[in-house]
Amino acid sequence: MFTKANRETPFLSKGDLKTLSETATRVFLSSHPNPERKGCPDPRVLRGLAFLRTTKDAMEITLHLGECSDCFRDFADFSQQYKESRRRMWLGVGAAAAVALVIAGTLYFGMRNLDTLSPKPDGIANTPHGVEPAPVVSPSTNEVARVETLLPVIDYQLVSPTRGPETSATQPKELILKRERLLLRIHLPLGSEEGTYEVRLHRVSDKKQIRKYESSANKHNNFTLSIEDDFRKFATGSYLLAIFAPGITGEVQGYPVRIVESP
pLDDT, mean of residues 181-201: 93
Mean per-residue pLDDT over the chain, rounded:
75
Which of 3-12, 202-211, 244-253 holds the top average pLDDT?
Answer: 202-211
Residue 96 parent element (H or E): helix 69-117
pLDDT of 21-72, one tens digit each?
676 677 677 778 888 888 898 888 878 877 877 667 777 888 887 888 888 8
Q: Which of 170, 150, 169, 152 is nearest to 160 (CA)?
A: 170
Burial class (CB in 10 A: 0-12, 13-18, 19+), 139: middle
Q: How much of the chain, in percent, has pLDDT values that exceed 70?
A: 63
Contact indicator for 70, 40 with CB cutoff of 8 Å: yes
Mean pLDDT of 200-207: 92
Question: Phi/psi at 23 (nearest 5 deg)?
Answer: -65, -45
Query: How many other C-beta atoms can be found within 10 angstroms of the C-beta atom of residue 20?
Result: 13
Nearest to 200 by CA among 172, 168, 227: 227
Long-range interactions of 94-101: CB distance < 8 A, separation 24+: 95/144, 96/138, 96/139, 96/140, 96/141, 96/143, 96/144, 97/138, 99/138, 99/139, 100/136, 100/138, 100/139
CA distance 263 to 258: 15
**Confidence at residue 92, expressed as pLDDT on a 0 to 100 scale:** 65
Euclidean distance between CA atoms 115 and 118, whole angstroms: 5
Q: Quick check: 239 pLDDT over 90?
A: yes
The residue that leads in pLDDT, 245 or 94, is 245
User: Cα–Cα distance between 259 and 202 in angstroms, integer?
Assistant: 12
- Predicted TM-score of the model (pTM): 0.44
Q: Across residues 4-31, what is the average pLDDT? A: 62
pLDDT band at 97 (very low <50, low <70, confident <90, very high): low
> Which burial class, exposed, middle or buried, applies to 200 when counting CB atoms under 10 A from its CB (0-12, 13-18, 19+)?
middle
Q: What is the mean pLDDT of residues 72-96?
A: 76
pLDDT given for residue 143 in this prediction: 43
Asked if 211 and 229 touch (Cβ cutoff 8 Å), the reply is yes
Q: What is the pLDDT of residue 16?
A: 64
pLDDT grade for 195, boundaries at 50, 70 and 90: very high
pLDDT (0 to 100) of residue 1:
45
What is the average per-residue pLDDT within 246-250?
A: 85
Contact by Cβ (8 Å): 82, 74: no
The answer to whether residue 9 scores a pLDDT higher than 90 is no
Decide if pLDDT at 243 tops 70. yes
Pick from 64-68, 93-97, 161-165, 221-225 the range whose average pLDDT is largest.
221-225
Q: Does 260 score more than 90 pLDDT?
A: yes
pLDDT digits (tens, 9 = 90+) for 98-156: 656 766 666 666 666 555 555 544 444 444 444 455 455 444 444 434 434 478 999 99
